[in-house]
Structure 1
Amino acid sequence: MSLESAARLTELLLALALIQQGLEHLRGTRSERVLFGARTVLCLALIADLAQPWPLVALCGLSLAILWRFQGPYNGGSDRMGLLALFCLTLSQLAPTPAWREVIFGYLGLQLVLSYAISGWVKLINPDWRSGRALADVFAFSAYPVSEDLRGWAGRPRTLLVMSWAVILFELAFPLTLLSQEALIAGLVIAAVFHLANAALFGLNRFFWTWLAVYPAILWLQDRLM
């Protein structure tokens, strides 16, 4: 995969992810509708490949306004990854040389790898995750589950222990997928299914679309390094 095609695919997927997020604000305040309506228009211009790189530049400026409006990335990790992808794409477009374009876009791919590895390490050093209790608390007390039947999983300690360690080991081992293209594709499929499950079970839909948008960057990086 070439740098140009990987960056373009990332732009398209990110634009779709941002539009999907904006739909959540259709019933918000007037200022929210204006901000996210403008972002949707810019995303459509990005999808149509109009006047590049100015839609990306404008989206960066608008993202700063949204950060000010909500006093930070109100949806946590998914917003941070989306902002990282947006600013890396913009800086890569504006970079003065092809080498700098590769460095900036490669940094985005590296951050994706670290997002899994660091998440795994944080879970590993947390005794509640090692025992399965953290996952039990998610099912028992979280406001996210869309079905009360899901809360019954909190009473399956052995199952949750296995699930906890499966998540920990996969996230810690994710950097090893860079050793081959086949391993990376398999790892990304597993990760996507994991995010999709979280979206279906807990309503964490933003993570699925935002992380999926960055997958072309890691695919390009692995091909570039190998």
Structure 2
Amino acid sequence: MGLLILTCLTLAQISPHPFFAELALAYLAIQLILSYFVSGQIKILNPDWRSGQALADVFAFSAYPVSENLRALAKHPKVMFGASWAVMIFELIFPLSFLHSAALTLAFFIAALFHLTNACVFGLNRFFWTWLAAYPSILWLQQRLIGI
């Protein structure tokens, strides 16, 4: 995503015509929207994600520095089941947030909280800043296409 952001912004900046600059920014926004949706689609097709087992495995066997208290969450199947479904549903409905500015603001807040949690729990810091850096492209595209 970081390389995609840099490439699209560079193309927008050096573009000989505003149309091509807008095309580069729109491409970035669409890729960001798809990054959530496709991730949710892949997860929901996986029976381990639907049962909560995949998330339990992430907590239990993660190579990332997860504390023992957090690893213990893997032993709570109801928590893992609920968290798995919350992630999958959010990722799948993320594109719908594009249709209304208030919904998009809420989706950005939830997504940022999700990425911040991953950064704190698993040390995946770059995802937080990288995905947040791409959010303005969706705001721009929403305003450009829907005018809200």
On whether the aligned pair clears a TM of 0.5, the verdict is yes
Match 2:112 to one of 192, 212, 215? 192
- Paired amino acid for 1:181: S
1:94-138 alpha-carbon deviations (Å, 9 max, x no partner): 111111111111110110000000000000001110000000001
Give how far 1:145 is off. 3.6
Are 1:117 and 1:173, in contact at CA under 8 Å, matched by a contact in 2?
Answer: yes
| Mapping for residues 12-27 of structure 1, pairs under 5 Å | none
**Consecutive unaligned residues in structure 2, runs of 5 or more:** none
Which residue does the alignment assign to 1:113? 33
Name the structure 2 match of 1:163. Answer: 83
Percent identity between the two aligned chains: 62
- Contact 1:120/1:168 (<8 A) preserved: yes
Aligned position for 2:103: 183
Equivalent residue, structure 2, for 1:66: none
Structure 1 CA distance, aligned partners of 2:106 and 2:65?
28
Partners of 1:146 and 1:120 lie apart in 2 by 23
Please point out which of 101, 120, 126 is paired with 1:206.
126
Mapped to 1, the partners of 2:142 and 2:15 lie a distance apart of: 21
Q: Within 2, Cα distance between the matches of 1:204 and 1:114?
A: 20
1:146: Cα distance to partner?
3.2
**Following TM superposition, where does structure 1 have runs of at least 4 consecutive aligned residues deviating by more than 4 angstroms?**
none
Query: Structure 1: how far apart are the matches of 2:143 and 2:109?
Result: 17
Q: What corresponds to 1:93 in structure 2?
A: 13
Q: Which residue of 1 aligns with 2:44?
A: 124
Q: Is the 8 A contact 1:137 1:154 kept in 2?
A: yes
Contact map agreement 2:37 2:94 (CA 8 A) in 1: yes
Cα distance in 2, alignment partners of residues 127 and 168 from structure 1: 12
Aligned residue pairs, count? 146
Letter in 1 for 2:117: A
**How many Å separate the matches in 1 of 2:37 and 2:44?**
10
The residue matched to 1:146 in structure 2 has which SS? coil
Does the 8 Å CA contact 1:109/1:218 hold for their aligned counterparts?
A: yes
**Structure 1 portions without partners, runs of 5+:** 1-80
Match of 2:22 in 1: 102
Give, as a single letter, the amino acid of the residue that structure 1 aligns with 2:135.
Y
**Aligned-partner Cα distance in 1 for 2:39–2:104:** 18
Letter in 1 for 2:56: A
Name the aligned partner's letter for residue 77 of structure 2. P
TM, length-normalised to structure 2: 0.97
Partner of 1:222: 142
- In the superposition, the TM-score normalised over structure 1's length comes to 0.64
Return the index of the structure with the highest Cα Rg: 1
